[in-house]
Amino acid sequence: TLRAIIFDVDGTLAETEEEHRRAFNETFGHFGLDWRWDRKLYAELLKVTGGKERIRDYVARHRPSCEGRVGPIVKAMHEAKTERYVANLGGGGIKLRPGVARLIREAKAAGLRLAVATTTSLPNVRILLTETLGPDALDLFEVIAAGDMVAAKKPAPDVYLLALDRLGLPAADCVAIEDSYNGVMSARRAGIAVLATSSEYTRFDDLRHAQGVVSDLGEPDAPYLHLGGVGSS
Ligand code: XBP
Ligand code: MG
């Protein structure tokens, strides 16, 4: 029986990767580095999930001479990146992808439990949910498994296994919503069925391990769909 939906965040709930890219670039500037991640490079860097892991991968492959100097400050750089991301999203303008608010509302109304399984940092999840679904949004999700709560990020299954553990449910009672190859693999390795919605940066990802692949979760969230419900963003 289906009892819970476990959502990925970046690319699935909202098109957030351009905001991540902006926050990374602003942070590099702040740290006096002349690095700039353009869209093409970022698409390639997204193969490594997690911001700290992504910075380390970039340095190793593109700036090997900086390794000694930058290695020790990656954590501090990434904390600054998270602060910027949260501040930027807090400025408004970010929207949920089509159908997301409606699915959340209707799943809740049907008695399903909701969870999040993401590689992004917890403050980033919080600001996205409250900016798009309102101040009570965090109460909608029973479990938020995020970022460094697990050692191995997607495509490893750890973050989904953590979500299952916190929900107290077997994989067979859950469905995951994902947008990327890494995300689909993570959920599948945890034994969870996946519905994939391809996103801006994952258009060319191999999503064939998902049980279903769709362009998005339904009609744009027209105002009439929200009367009396959550997600009037
Ligand atoms: C999202 C990510 C994250 C964000 C950055 O992948 O890879 O790393 O880009 O987040 P998924 P942090 O949607 O598969 O979870 O900088 O907070 O790590
Ligand atoms: Mg994603």
- Structural domains present in the chain: 4-14+94-226 (3.40.50.1000), 17-90 (1.10.150.240)
Atom of ligand 1 nearest to the CA of 24: 16
Q: What's the CA-to-centroid distance between 11 and ligand 2, angstroms? A: 4
For Cα atoms 24, 96, 142, give the angle at the middle one, nearest 5 degrees.
Answer: 95
Atom of ligand 1 nearest to the CA of 12: 13
21 touches ligand 1 (CB under 6 Å): no
Q: Which residues of the chain have pLDDT under 70?
A: 220-233
Copy the structure tokens of residue 205: 């990802």
| pLDDT attached to residue 222 | 54
Round to whole Å and give the CA distance between 23 and 32: 14
231 touches ligand 1 (CB under 6 Å): no
Round to whole Å and give the CA distance between 49 and 72: 20
- Count the Cβ atoms, other than its own, within 10 Å of residue 67: 11
| pLDDT attached to residue 195 | 98
- Count the Cβ atoms, other than its own, within 10 Å of residue 123: 16
Distances (CA, A) of 132 to 92, 113, 124, 176: 9, 19, 12, 20
Q: Is 10 a catalytic residue?
A: yes
Residue among 44, 24, 46, 47 nearest 36 (CA): 24
Phi then psi dihedrals of residue 50, to 5 deg: 90, 130
| pLDDT attached to residue 227 | 43
